[in-house]
Amino acid sequence: MVLSNALIWFLFGAGLLIAELMIPGIILVFFAAGCWISALVSLLIDITTTAQIGIFIFSSLVLLFTLRKFALNTFRGITRDQTDDHYADTKIGKTAIVTRAIHPHISGEIKVMGSFWMAVSDVDIEAGSSVMIEKQTSEDGLTFKVNPISGEKNE
């Protein structure tokens, strides 16, 4: 049984795609696409093997250098180091309600903007008191330092 050049290119591209799934680096997928472009061209036009290899190399490299950065940003997402702490910044300076008492060395809980967050303070603050969010205190962005609003009843 003789396989056509188009089928060979297609199968080689499928193999590269499977290899990309096993060893993710977002590189082999562009060579798989180059194989499929060569398969399509060799299916539509009768060209030499040298020309097919040239199309494979050219299309793979063009795709790699033009689309890899976009693919990395799309599929890898954003790491903690790249975030701008947008969600934490929107809470700083807001008023919150204490839902679980806060003590100087024991964290409590606050409710702000419809969500519950861990909170710490240098003073005792009882549940039900209003507090002002001063800053984010943890690396994970889940704990805030708060201060009681003047005029509130605190212990």
pLDDT band at 80 (very low <50, low <70, confident <90, very high): low
What are the tens digits of pLDDT across the range 16-60?
999 999 987 889 999 999 999 999 999 999 999 999 999 999 999
Say yes or no to pLDDT of 71 above 60. Answer: yes
User: Does the domain made of 86-148 have the CATH classification 2.40.50.140?
Assistant: yes
- pTM summary value: 0.50
Question: What is the domain partition of the chain in residue ranges?
Answer: 5-77, 86-148
Angle at 40 between CA 38 and CA 45, to 5 degrees: 90
Mean pLDDT confidence for 82-109: 78
Phi, psi for 124 (deg, rounded to 5): -75, 135
72 sits in which H/E element: helix 49-76
